[in-house]
Structure 1
Amino acid sequence: MKQLSSAQIRQMFLDFFKSKGHMVEPSASLVPVNDPSLLWINSGVATMKKYFDGSVVPENPRIANAQKSIRTNDIENVGKTARHHTMFEMLGNFSIGDYFKTEAIHWAWEFLTSPEWIDFDPEKLYVTVYPEDAEAKRIWLEEVGLPKGHVVEVADNFWDLGVGPSGPDSEIFYDRGESFNDLAEDDPENYPGGENERYLEIWNLVFSEFNHKPDNTYEPLPHQNIDTGMGLERMVSIIQDAPTNFETDLFLPIIEKTEQLSGKKYGSDKTLDISFKVIADHIRSLAFAIGDGALPSNEGRGYVLRRLLRRAVMHGKKLGINEAFLYQLVPIVGKIMVSFYPEVQQQSEFIQKVVRTEEERFHETINEGLTMLNDVLAELKADNKSTLDGKVIFKLYDTFGFPVELTEEVAEDEGLKVDHEGFEVEMQAQKERARAARTTETSMGVQTALLGEIKVKSEFVGYDQLEVESKLSIIIQNDAVIEQTSPGTAQLIFAKTPFYAEMGGQVADHGVITDTSGEIVATVIDVQKAPNGQPLHKVEVAKPLTTGENYFLQVDAARRNKILKNHTATHLLHKALKEVLGDHANQAGSLVAPKHLRFDFTHFGQVTPDELKNMEKIVNQRIWEAIPVVTIETDIDTAKNMGAMALFGEKYGHDVRVVNIGDWSIELCGGTHVINTEDIGLFKIVSESGIGAGVRRIEALTGQEAYEAFRQEEERLLEIAQIVKSPQIKEVVSKTEQLQQQLRELQKENDQLATKLANQQAGDIFKDIKEINGTTIITAQVTVKDMNQLRQIADQWKQKAASDVLVLGTAQGEKVNLLAAMSPAALDKGLKAGDLIKAIAPKVGGGGGGRPDMAQAGGKNPAGLNDALSEALNWLS
């Protein structure tokens, strides 16, 4: 067997399938684009859904990729088993209606056994097949030449998501030898395909040939597809002869750095080894996910990252690391993966900043969690209880990030049991909430043959033409291709069109279609890309249109002109963002519409008013400089060498369009733009907000809309000038400052009067003292404005030592405030203000709490205030 690094194995796989005519797709972002059914990209095939369901026809039906993926459904097993990971790499080759079982099986065998490639010993390889898949079994036995004993029928070998594409699969196993036997010879799981350590699954070949229908029947797919998945980590562990995936070059450098930071040695203690593995696994997921735009938070993807980070920190504590350390592992991850995933190394500084900030916050939280746990345990022991409730375990896990095993250890050290069942109930409820928060869509749709089969050419000429004469090639109505339209909506494809199809955040053009006499026959209300890339016009039919006839296509020029301004302004804003906030501020979505633009971007933290002002100023300066906007068509490599930025979520082919604004902003973009920045006229940011974990949104206006926004602001200022009686707008600020000063002086005077009134009341109420069981108490309803003034009276009571117990209440409208206080003598008797306030607050429809010496409450039932004061006397008696 060859000795290969993980980088060599990955590249060898891609090179092999490239030699078989496959197009190699780059690894997609871990954050899914336009797929609400997935929290993360969780497999190599997840990025191929658009090809398998027919919504996009690939340039090449043969595709290969190495795809980073995240799965966290069995996170608790990470570190405890040999091969569980949260982030892993899936190597795959795919056929979209091209080759099928014969090629897939033969190529898999060639790659694994050929001396030119992996060079496995054929005697070490076993395969499983679906019992009813006679064809796959025949290919393995008769064509490949595997001995019968190396082909095993397994009933589970059928890939099925419930509804959609499905089919039998064939798994390939590597026999690691008798030294890896973890089962008895006669154990029913001791075979290729069973749950054992000896026979390691390395590759799954899925033969997708059926459509699983909602009525639970199966029908043949229009096209048979191939979808395979090979786990890189498993392959590397075999080739590098590692006992588990963690002893490979993908993880060992991280473990070695952790050894340096902790002073502990990997391999010396099985319990500590789990912590080393968890840390190495989790920092990979964190580094890649943050690099792809996800950030820690309390929901969705951010919740997953926060949980991973906190688990890793807690395992760091088990290794004796009691300060932020994970961020120091980020450069190690970047160095390991740089040959195929340069993004972690490129964004290392930003990723480290995010991880370190989150670590330091969590270290503050850990102490709160431990305090809470110790308090709960103390209460349990005081009440002679022996079991820690599952709800408490879940709260520690969910709020403070405490791993369940850590809570168990602390509880067991105190001689207590833990309520596992109650914890699982809470955990399941959390999973249900998370599942409900995501859009429930099928993971893979079935192919739609109609649009996918339409191969006619259609040229977009709308970069420099807004009106053209063109032949109508295709009419679709009621899911059928027809020769002539009937009333209603229809979908049309023309030989050429000036109408822009919605793409890259830019909305579609609108306009009209006229016949040769100039009469309007249809109104274009939307344009989308068909699976084979043609602009597909959705129209409202006014008069019949016929295929083969020529029509005039006219784009709404005024609407397009506004879209141009907003699109070019988006490019200027993107560059300004990076200059002001830093290179980590990447586009995370956009909308370019006629009346406004919207720009979403990744940023860790708030955007200040000064930063927004600076961005707006930079964009307007570029507009006023009247910079030519130059668009060129070139190949992708040349574009990258020019420094062109790629937009979020976009896939680019070999030939691309580059929009260059004075060599300052250079982006890959297929959209439409102004000829010169001065055409934009004016740019105004109208709002900035957070829309998710680490994602913020700017909304802005250009041209006429920006002017109208300034006019509205001016009108509002004029109204304010009239209100504050300022003759001119420029004097509004000084006039408002004068009014504010007057208000402050009046407020101060009012507070002095209120304090004087409170003092007068205090003098009266301190005389009305009652004694109950040897304890003196003052209760009174007073006329003050808020809780602050109640506390002032309580301070006077404390200075005068007027009684042992004080209870005050005040009502303002529908709002009630209560205050209870205890003297040192009352505290010595075991009386607590918090207990007293909890007893009387229900009378005013409220609740509260506080310290033993002082507590307060609020309520919404003023009518119950006298009852609350009376209840204080009852409580004391």
Structure 2
Amino acid sequence: MKQLTSAEVRQLWLDFWQTKGHSVEPSASLIPVQDPSLLWINSGVATLKKYFDGSVVPENPRITNSQKSIRTNDIENVGVTARHHTLFEMLGNFSIGDYFKAEVIPWAWEFLTDEKWLGLEPSKLYMTYYPEDTETVELWKKTTGLSDDHYVPVEDNFWDLGAGPCGPDTEIFYDRGEKYQDLPDEDPEMYPGGENERYLEIWNIVFSQFNHLPNGEYVPLKHKNIDTGMGLERMVSVIQDTPTNFETDLFMPIIEAVQALGTKAKYGDSKLTDVSFKVIADHVRAVTFAIGDRALPSNEGRGYILRRLIRRAIMHGRRLGIKGNFLAQLVPVVADIMEAYYPEVKADQSFIQDVIVTEENRFNETINEGEAIIEEVISSLKSAHEKLMPGEQAFKLYDTYGFPLELTQEYLEHAGIEVELDGFEKSMQEQRDRARAARKSSTGMAVQSDILGEIDVDSAYVGYDQLEVETRINTILAEDAFVSLAQAGSEVYVVADQTPFYAEMGGQIADTGEIVDENGQLIGKVVNVVRAPGGQHLHEVVLEAPLVLDQTVVLKVDRRRHHSIEKNHTATHLLHQALKDVLGDHANQAGSLVTENHLRFDFSHFGQVTPDELVEMEAKVNQAIADAFPVVTTVTTIDQAKAAGAQALFGEKYGNEVRMVDVNHWSIELCGGTHVANTAEIGVFKITSESGIGAGVRRIEAVTSLAAIQEYQQQEAILKELAEGLKVKKFFNLVSRFAQFREEHKETVQQLGALRDKMNAQAAGQIFDHVEEAGDLTIIAQNVPNRSMDDLRKIADEWKQKASSDVLVLATSADEKANLLIAVSPKAIEAGVKAGDLIKQVAPKIGGGGGGRPDMAQAGGKNPAGIADALAFAKEIIAK
């Protein structure tokens, strides 16, 4: 067997399939684009759905890739088993309705066994197949010439996710030899496809040839497809002959770097510490790539997963005895390992490290907060003579404060307390169920869109230079059928030889306008334009007159609307560069919307954007507009554009030939949209809002030109109204008048606060005279009308200082709402009275609920009439 590095294996794969006419699809971002069914890109085929479902026709039906992927559904197995990873690379080759079994099986054999490629020993390879798929096993026999024992029928070899494309598959296994066979020959799982370490699956080839209908029927697909997957980490472990994936050159440099961080443990010393080394190595790879793709830690969605990975790695570092922050130090090691195919990781290294250090510091603060909470829990459990922490409580520490279960158990162990694990697992499962329900379900790829996929005509977009063009109608679609005549009043989809209408794409909305005949008479209104699978511009038209196939017409774009869209689109480019200038190069586009009325720009940023920063960005954009910079659009190659410093936009797929939009060499982006010829045409730029919309993603909305002037006019009207209300004649006097008004208001609030404190003190003096006996304890239970909850707390603070009774129960009502507060002395707690438990029993009397600590709790409700019953019930409970 050839000795190869992981980088060489990856490159051999791509080189091989290029010799078979495949185009290399670059590894896409781990963050799915326009696919709400996925939290992460989780396979090589996930980014190619658009080709398999027919919504886009690829330039080349033969595709190969090495796709970075993340799966976190079984994170607990990472480091424990030999081959579980969160981040992995899937090598794939795909045929979109082109070649099939007869081609792919000999090619697979060639790649695996030919000395020019991997050069594996043929006798060590075994193939599984679906029992009814006799064609596949016969092809394998013909191709390999191996004995019959090398082909194993397996009933599970059928790839089916429910409704949609499906088909049989064949898996290729490598025999690693007897040294990986721990169990005797009688082991029933010791065969290719069984649960064992000797026969290792290295490749799966799916023959997508049926459509699984909702009624359970399987019908042949019109276009048969090939979808394959070879895990790079697993293949490298075979070639480098390592016990697990973690001893390969993809992981060992990270593990060695962890050993150098001050831990006394050495990899290989024990299974327990080995798990920690593996978890850290695995998680830092996933975290590095995810942050590089602008996923940022948060408390929801993929940000929550990312935060969990970081914290899990930190916890395993603590187990190895590593002190202080360490995870960010491993990022350069990951960057060096992956640089051959992922140079962007090294380029983003500093940003990735900054995010991880910020998260490490935050987790250290969380640990301190969690320790304080656990100490309180321990105290409460001890006072109640409990030896078991409820699982729900441990889960809250984990879910709300990010406190790992293992750390909670470690703290409780010293106090002789255990965690009720069934309750913890139940809460964890409920959270998983909620997460699944929150995401849109997907049962796989849709069936090919036959009618749109059959549009096979030429259609050129000329809208960069013309907004009106005479052309021929070459396709009419009405009610999912091709027609030669459409009547007035119908809604149809139309394709023409040429079109000036921009199709919705890259965040820019479509043009609208009219179709007229050669005499200028209106035929129909174009209300939207989208791209057909073959790339043609598909016009959605409401007909005012009949339309005939092959008819000569004039397509006219709404010029005013088109120019408004252009102004906003060019403004997004200026804003993007201003963001980078002000916030840093990490502020990359994460989505956009360009309409005729406004623009919306989403960008990655893991901090707040200050008002001063917004002012600076707005000023930079307006300066570029005032400078009247020419906007130069050049058609060039992707390599030349990158060499010129052009930025690629989020979610866009670029061919070898691209459009580069250059604004005075300050803003240079790859963009297929339409733009003004000079920034002066934009007129003025005004930011209307800035907000956070998700984990590490923020949004700016803005307007330009006349819309910006209208925004200023609205603000001026508000200023006029304020000036009249504050009785000032000039706007610039508003600030001083408002400052004066604020001081007056502050004084009034202070006076009211002093009066309220005096009233509370008087009320407290009267309340504390009403001490009653309740069993062995004393209680004060009083209704104090028209007080806030803050007032009740202040009275409780004074009660605590004076120790007027063992239990205090206060009630108040205002605006048809009721509030309760219960405070309990240490003596009463020792006697078994807990404020939190007591208020849960009493609160229903006021139509509400509440909770709190053993010494103090509060509740709210919507039934003030129940206050008297609540106070009486509290006395009754205490007496018992």
Report if TM-score (shorter chain) is over 0.5: yes
Q: Secondary structure at the match of 1:13?
A: helix
CA 1:796–1:655 in 2, change beyond 3 Å: closer, same or farther?
closer
Q: Which moved more, 1:493-502 or 1:789-798?
A: 789-798
CA 1:46–1:520 in 2, change beyond 3 Å: closer, same or farther?
same
- Counterpart amino acid of residue 565 in structure 1: K
Provide, for residues 17-53 of structure 1, a one-character-per-residue CA deviation record: whole Å limited to 9, x for no partner: 1122110010001111111111111111111111111
- Counterpart amino acid of residue 628 in structure 2: A
Give yes or no for the alignment of 1:449 onto 2:457.
no
Provide, for residues 653-708 of structure 1, a one-character-per-residue CA deviation record: whole Å limited to 9, x for no partner: 01000000000000000000001001000111111111111111111101111100
Partner of 2:527: 525
Q: Which residue, out of 625, 639, 642, partners 2:641?
A: 639
Q: Which residue, out of 599, 610, 630, partners 1:597?
A: 599
Structure 2 unaligned blocks of 5 or more? none
Q: Is contact 1:311-1:402 (8 Å) kept?
A: no
- Matches of residues 386-425 of structure 1 in structure 2 within 5 Å? 389-401=390-402, 421-425=422-426
Provide, for residues 560-610 of structure 1, a one-character-per-residue CA deviation record: whole Å limited to 9, x for no partner: 010000000000011111111111111111100010111111110211111
Partner of 1:364: 365
- Matches of residues 764-783 of structure 1 in structure 2 within 5 Å? none
Partner of 1:117: 117
How far does residue 497 in structure 1 lie from its aligned partner after superposition? 0.5
Partner of 1:609: 611
Q: Which residue, out of 679, 699, 719, partners 2:701?
A: 699
CA 1:14–1:310 in 2, change beyond 3 Å: closer, same or farther?
same
Q: Secondary structure at the match of 1:60?
A: coil
CA 1:660–1:763 in 2, change beyond 3 Å: closer, same or farther?
same
Q: Which moved more, 1:605-614 or 1:733-742?
A: 733-742
Structure 1 unaligned blocks of 5 or more? none
* Distance in structure 2 (CA, Å) of the matches to 1:123 and 1:549: 65
Provide, for residues 189-234 of structure 1, a one-character-per-residue CA deviation record: whole Å limited to 9, x for no partner: 1111111100111111112222222221222211221111111001
Partner of 1:127: 127
- Matches of residues 568-717 of structure 1 in structure 2 within 5 Å? 568-717=570-719
* Distance in structure 2 (CA, Å) of the matches to 1:585 and 1:613: 17
How far does residue 342 in structure 1 lie from its aligned partner after superposition? 1.8
Provide, for residues 700-751 of structure 1, a one-character-per-residue CA deviation record: whole Å limited to 9, x for no partner: 1011111001001101111111111112222222222222222222333333
Q: Is contact 1:37-1:443 (8 Å) kept?
A: no
* Distance in structure 1 (CA, Å) of the matches to 2:424 and 2:192: 36
Partner of 1:142: 142
* Distance in structure 1 (CA, Å) of the matches to 2:213 and 2:852: 61
- Matches of residues 3-42 of structure 1 in structure 2 within 5 Å? 3-42=3-42
* Distance in structure 2 (CA, Å) of the matches to 1:135 and 1:795: 83
Q: Is contact 1:758-1:783 (8 Å) kept?
A: no
* Distance in structure 1 (CA, Å) of the matches to 2:766 and 2:432: 59
Q: Is contact 1:566-1:594 (8 Å) kept?
A: yes
CA 1:859–1:38 in 2, change beyond 3 Å: closer, same or farther?
closer
Give yes or no for the alignment of 1:471 onto 2:493.
no
CA 1:702–1:362 in 2, change beyond 3 Å: closer, same or farther?
same
Q: Is contact 2:526-2:539 (8 Å) kept?
A: yes
Partner of 1:721: 723
* Distance in structure 2 (CA, Å) of the matches to 1:576 and 1:745: 43
Give yes or no for the alignment of 1:199 onto 2:163.
no
* Distance in structure 1 (CA, Å) of the matches to 2:782 and 2:156: 77
How far does residue 767 in structure 1 lie from its aligned partner after superposition? 6.0
CA 1:105–1:769 in 2, change beyond 3 Å: closer, same or farther?
closer
How far does residue 612 in structure 1 lie from its aligned partner after superposition? 1.1
CA 1:142–1:766 in 2, change beyond 3 Å: closer, same or farther?
closer
Q: Is contact 1:578-1:584 (8 Å) kept?
A: yes
- Counterpart amino acid of residue 34 in structure 1: Q
Q: Secondary structure at the match of 2:547?
A: coil
- Counterpart amino acid of residue 695 in structure 1: V
* Distance in structure 1 (CA, Å) of the matches to 2:412 and 2:794: 44
- Counterpart amino acid of residue 725 in structure 2: I
Provide, for residues 365-414 of structure 1, a one-character-per-residue CA deviation record: whole Å limited to 9, x for no partner: 33554565676677778777776654345444434445556666777887
Q: Secondary structure at the match of 1:605?
A: coil
How far does residue 813 in structure 1 lie from its aligned partner after superposition? 4.0
Partner of 2:218: 218
Give yes or no for the alignment of 1:243 onto 2:247.
no
Partner of 1:308: 309
TM-score computed with the length of structure 1 as normaliser:
0.93
- Counterpart amino acid of residue 626 in structure 2: W
Provide, for residues 782-825 of structure 1, a one-character-per-residue CA deviation record: whole Å limited to 9, x for no partner: 57754555565566667777777766555444455556667899
Q: Which residue, out of 730, 733, 746, partners 2:732?
A: 730
* Distance in structure 2 (CA, Å) of the matches to 1:23 and 1:194: 35
Partner of 2:555: 553
Q: Is contact 1:524-1:538 (8 Å) kept?
A: yes
Q: Secondary structure at the match of 1:280?
A: helix
CA 1:5–1:573 in 2, change beyond 3 Å: closer, same or farther?
same
* Distance in structure 2 (CA, Å) of the matches to 1:167 and 1:771: 78
Q: Which moved more, 1:485-494 or 1:756-765?
A: 756-765
* Distance in structure 1 (CA, Å) of the matches to 2:151 and 2:840: 73
Q: Is contact 2:774-2:876 (8 Å) kept?
A: no
CA 1:16–1:814 in 2, change beyond 3 Å: closer, same or farther?
same
How far does residue 63 in structure 1 lie from its aligned partner after superposition? 0.8
- Counterpart amino acid of residue 468 in structure 2: E
Partner of 2:566: 564
How far does residue 533 in structure 1 lie from its aligned partner after superposition? 0.7
Provide, for residues 513-538 of structure 1, a one-character-per-residue CA deviation record: whole Å limited to 9, x for no partner: 00111111111011111111111111
* Distance in structure 2 (CA, Å) of the matches to 1:317 and 1:544: 76
- Matches of residues 290-439 of structure 1 in structure 2 within 5 Å? 290-369=291-370, 389-401=390-402, 421-439=422-440
Q: Secondary structure at the match of 1:481?
A: coil
Q: Is contact 2:162-2:444 (8 Å) kept?
A: no
Partner of 1:83: 83
RMSD: 2.9
CA 1:648–1:367 in 2, change beyond 3 Å: closer, same or farther?
same
- Counterpart amino acid of residue 212 in structure 1: H
- Counterpart amino acid of residue 685 in structure 2: F
Partner of 1:498: 500
CA 1:249–1:803 in 2, change beyond 3 Å: closer, same or farther?
closer
* Distance in structure 1 (CA, Å) of the matches to 2:648 and 2:237: 35
How far does residue 321 in structure 1 lie from its aligned partner after superposition? 2.6
Q: Which moved more, 1:581-590 or 1:353-362?
A: 353-362
Provide, for residues 300-343 of structure 1, a one-character-per-residue CA deviation record: whole Å limited to 9, x for no partner: 21222122222222222221235332222122111111111122
TM-score computed with the length of structure 2 as normaliser:
0.93
Aligned residue pair count: 877
- Counterpart amino acid of residue 697 in structure 1: R
Provide, for residues 238-285 of structure 1, a one-character-per-residue CA deviation record: whole Å limited to 9, x for no partner: 111111000011111111111122232111011110111111111111
Q: Is contact 1:476-1:491 (8 Å) kept?
A: yes
Provide, for residues 355-374 of structure 1, a one-character-per-residue CA deviation record: whole Å limited to 9, x for no partner: 22222222333355456567
CA 1:762–1:136 in 2, change beyond 3 Å: closer, same or farther?
closer
- Counterpart amino acid of residue 438 in structure 2: A
Partner of 1:739: 741
Q: Secondary structure at the match of 1:31?
A: coil
* Distance in structure 2 (CA, Å) of the matches to 1:749 and 1:311: 52
* Distance in structure 1 (CA, Å) of the matches to 2:440 and 2:775: 64
* Distance in structure 2 (CA, Å) of the matches to 1:668 and 1:439: 32
* Distance in structure 2 (CA, Å) of the matches to 1:840 and 1:395: 25
* Distance in structure 2 (CA, Å) of the matches to 1:609 and 1:193: 61
Q: Secondary structure at the match of 1:227?
A: strand
Q: Is contact 1:42-1:71 (8 Å) kept?
A: yes
- Counterpart amino acid of residue 587 in structure 2: A
Q: Which moved more, 1:574-583 or 1:814-823?
A: 814-823
Q: Is contact 1:452-1:532 (8 Å) kept?
A: yes
Partner of 2:190: 190
